[in-house]
């Protein structure tokens, strides 16, 4: 929106969250979705390690996930662990899911910050 | 209201909508293929997990607004024609444009990627290569014939391009944010910085096509808005665009250019050329737009013309009887017809002749 009016939804990670939800329930799901998820998290980890080198080829979802993870060390470790194993445990999936779903949304938050804070942007 | 029952209802609804006389053939194909995908999910409900079916259903509900909007006769056609050209500068695939005529002072552009979801989640469906870019443009219905007042849509197009390539988000990875202020969670600080960069990108994008009119429309809507978690202050936004248009160095512009280059393989550059509309408009004649640069430039040129005539009327057609409404209506009408003439000429020159 050109001026503050309504919230901005970010659905870029919808399919990533879907996979984590399915994994947390130990459900079977299409291989195409599995391979999509693997590609996204691999690119996410690569982006965090080598952003300048990887930024031009990464999927938009990987960029979104990398940004979320870059400010959450625990989630980053979790995603890196998921990447190392062939089968995600339901516990890993559940933790990653709840962490990703609990993101702060300033559009819906009545937060007020001082002028000094904004001056640093 | 279970997902399967809803999918039956959705299939029916998509079919009904696609039978409209005014339906765009590309949207008819989109509807038919979506109905086919819905029927596929209904027939394979035992194979796909419930969560996949539910997400597919959610996307089908959302995309229905796009299909419905594609039949609308309430869209600002001429502005959409120019937006489509600007979009083509950045995204080569043909876009299916839908519109929402709003009884509110709001502008937006959004998209739905139901066919991306289908290609990665419905592995038993054969039609996997169909991935149209579907875009919905929302603007006040009252501005349907007021292209000069639809300039904020270029800002919204900027958000759309940003979202498509995740340019602002990439900038966070390529150019770190300033140190987090005390007592503020890093995630919060990061998100505020992201939203501010997104607004600056959209402003810069709009200024590539509409120049100073991008700032002028912002100043008309939100003249002195302060910083907020979702938007930089108007003062900061206007200053960044001013630096861009005047070629002054600015850290925000540099980091967004770097990200734009990395993700979209191009930088933000000025695309408009200001046409000299005064002479034609003073005679209540349309301006003969000669190229795409002028097609974009007619927005800032006519913004300037309109506001100078509102402030100090000098055009021969403005007398004491004419109200501000009459002035803006006439100028908007001239701009709309100038763009339409350009479009007609373009279509005409694209028609194959049967000389051979």
B115 CA: distance to closest CA in chain A (Å): 12
Which pLDDT band, with edges at 50, 70 and 90, does B67 fall under? confident
pLDDT attached to residue A118: 85
CA distance B18 to B68: 9
Average the pLDDT over B108-132 and give the result. 89
* Residue B272 to chain A, least CA–CA distance (Å): 21
B156 located within any domain:
no
Residue A6 lies in a domain: no
Residue B164 has pLDDT above 90, yes or no: yes
Residue B140 near residue B106, CB atoms below 8 Å: yes
Work out the minimum CA distance from A30 to partner chain B, whole angstroms.
Answer: 6
Whether residue B143 sits in one domain with residue B9: yes
- Looking from the CA of B333 toward its CB, the CA atoms found within 13 Å total 8
Cβ–Cβ under 8 Å, residues B169 and A67: yes
Write out residues 66-105 of A within 8 Å (CB-CB) of B: 66-67, 70-72, 103-105
Average pLDDT over residues B65-74: 80
Task: Point out the domain boundary residue: B90, B118, B147.
Answer: B147
- Alpha carbon of B346: minimum distance to chain A alpha carbons (Å): 31
Mean pLDDT across the stretch B177-196? 93
Does any CB of chain B come closer than 8 Å to the CB of residue A65? Answer: no
Provide the residue range defining the domain that includes A85. 14-101
pLDDT above 70 as % of chain B: 97
**B88 and B138 together in one domain:** yes
B141 and B8 within one domain: yes
A52, B230: Cβ pair inside 8 Å? no
Residue of A nearest to B260 (CA): A56
Is residue A2 one of the residues assigned to a domain?
no
C-alpha distance from A55 to closest chain B C-alpha (Å): 6
Regarding whether B344 and B212 lie in a shared domain, the answer is no
Residue whose tokens read 């002479």: B279
Give CA–CA dist B32/B159, Å, rounded. Answer: 30
Judged against a pLDDT cut of 60, whether residue A20 lies above it is answered with yes
Q: Compare CB distances from A31 to B123, B193, B230 and report the shortest one's residue.
A: B123
- A121 falls within a domain: no
Q: Are residues B14 and B143 in the same domain?
A: yes
When divided into structural domains, chain B yields a total of 3
Domain count within chain A: 1
Task: Answer whether residue B127 is part of any domain.
Answer: yes
The answer on B143 and B12 residing in a single domain is yes
* Partner-chain contact B173 A67, CB within 8 Å: yes
Say what the pLDDT of residue A9 is.
Answer: 46
Same domain, B210 and B103: no
The DSSP letter of residue A9 is -
Residue A7 has pLDDT above 50, yes or no: no
Asked if B169 has any chain A CB less than 8 Å from its own CB, the reply is: yes
HSE of A85, CA atoms in CB hemisphere, 13 A: 11
Note the ipTM here: 0.89
**Residue B83 binned pLDDT confidence (cut-offs 50, 70, 90):** very high
Question: For residue B272, is it within any domain?
Answer: no
Helix (H) or strand (E) holding A116: helix A115-119
Q: Which two tokens stand for residue B254?
A: 């540099």
In a domain, A118, yes or no: no
- Are B24 and B65 spatial neighbours (Cβ–Cβ below 8 Å)? no
Q: Which residue of B has its CA nearest to A54?
A: B262
Cα A4 from chain centroid (whole Å):
25
**Interface contact flag, A2 B222, Cβ < 8 Å:** yes
B301-320 residues labelled b (16+ CB within 10 A) or e (exposed): bbbbbbbebeeeeebeeeee
Indicate if B8 and B140 belong to the same structural domain: yes
Considering the domain boundaries, does residue A83 fall inside one? Answer: yes
- From chain B residues 175-194, the ones with a CB under 8 A of any chain A CB are 177-179, 181, 184-188, 190-194
For residue B289, the 8-state DSSP code is -
User: What's the start-to-end Cα distance of chain B, in Å?
Assistant: 60
Contact between A115 and B259 using a beta-carbon 8 Å cutoff? no
Does the residue A114 lie in any domain? no
A9: in domain: no
- Which residues span the domain enclosing B248? 162-264
Within B70-166, residue ranges assigned H as helices are 77-90, 114-121, 152-165
Whether B175 and B204 share a structural domain: yes
Confirm whether A5 is domain-assigned: no
Contact A1 B107 (CB under 8 A): yes
Look over chain B and give the mean of its residue pLDDT values, rounded to a whole number.
93
Contact (CB<8Å) B121/A104: no
Q: Note whether A41 contacts B: Cβ–Cβ < 8 A.
A: no
- pLDDT tier at B247 (50, 70, 90 boundaries)? very high
Q: What is the CA radius of gyration of chain A?
A: 16
Tens-place pLDDT, residues B258-272: 999 999 999 999 999
Is pLDDT of B153 > 70? yes
What is the value of pTM for the model shown? 0.92
pLDDT value, residue B352: 74
How confident is the model over B13-28, as pLDDT tens digits?
A: 999 888 876 677 888 8
Average pLDDT over residues A104-115: 60
């Amino acid at each position: 929106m050109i001026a503050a009016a309504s919230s901005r939804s970010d659905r870029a990670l919808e399919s990533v969250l879907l996979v984590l939800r399915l994994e947390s329930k130990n459900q079977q799901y299409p291989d195409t979705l599995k391979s999509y998820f693997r590609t996204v998290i691999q690119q996410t980890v690569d982006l965090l390690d080598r952003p300048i080198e990887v930024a031009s080829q990464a999927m938009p979802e990987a960029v979104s996930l990398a940004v979320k993870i870059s400010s959450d060390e625990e989630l980053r470790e979790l995603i890196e662990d998921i990447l190392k194993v062939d089968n995600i445990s339901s516990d890993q999936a559940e933790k990653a899911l709840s962490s990703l779903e609990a993101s702060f949304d300033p559009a819906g938050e009545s937060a007020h910050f001082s002028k000094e804070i904004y001056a640093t942007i | 209201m279970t997902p399967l029952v809803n999918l039956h209802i959705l299939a029916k609804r998509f079919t009904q909508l696609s039978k409209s006389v005014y339906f765009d053939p590309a949207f008819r194909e989109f509807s038919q293929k979506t109905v086919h995908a819905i029927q596929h999910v209904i027939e394979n409900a035992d194979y796909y997990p419930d969560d996949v079916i539910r997400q597919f259903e959610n996307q089908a509900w959302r995309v229905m607004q796009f299909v419905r909007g594609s039949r609308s006769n309430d869209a600002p056609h001429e502005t959409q024609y120019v937006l489509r050209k600007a979009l083509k500068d950045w995204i080569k695939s043909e876009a299916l444009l839908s519109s929402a005529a709003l009884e509110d002072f709001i502008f937006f552009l959004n998209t739905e990627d139901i066919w991306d979801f289908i290609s990665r989640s419905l592995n038993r469906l054969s039609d996997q290569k169909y991935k149209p870019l579907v875009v919905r443009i929302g603007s006040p219905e009252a501005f349907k014939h007021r292209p000069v007042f639809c300039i904020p849509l270029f800002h919204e197009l900027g958000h759309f391009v940003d979202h498509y390539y995740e340019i602002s988000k990439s900038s966070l990875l390529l150019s770190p944010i300033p140190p987090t202020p005390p007592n503020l969670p890093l995630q919060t600080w990061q998100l505020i910085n992201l939203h501010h960069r997104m607004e600056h990108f959209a402003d810069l994008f709009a200024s590539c096509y509409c120049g100073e009119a991008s700032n002028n429309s912002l100043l008309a809507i939100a003249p002195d808005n302060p910083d907020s978690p979702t938007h930089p202050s108007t003062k900061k936004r206007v200053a960044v665009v001013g630096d861009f248009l005047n070629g002054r160095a600015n850290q925000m512009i540099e980091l967004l250019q770097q990200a734009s280059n990395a993700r979209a393989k191009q930088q933000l550059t000025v695309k408009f050329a200001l046409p000299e509309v005064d002479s034609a408009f003073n005679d209540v004649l349309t301006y003969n737009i000669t190229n795409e640069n002028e097609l974009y430039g007619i927005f800032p040129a006519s913004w300037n013309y309109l506001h100078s005539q509102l402030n100090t009327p000098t055009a021969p057609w403005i007398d004491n009887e004419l109200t501000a409404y009459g002035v803006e209506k006439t100028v908007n009408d001239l701009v709309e017809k100038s763009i339409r003439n350009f479009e007609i000429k373009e279509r005409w020159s694209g028609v194959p002749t049967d000389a051979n």
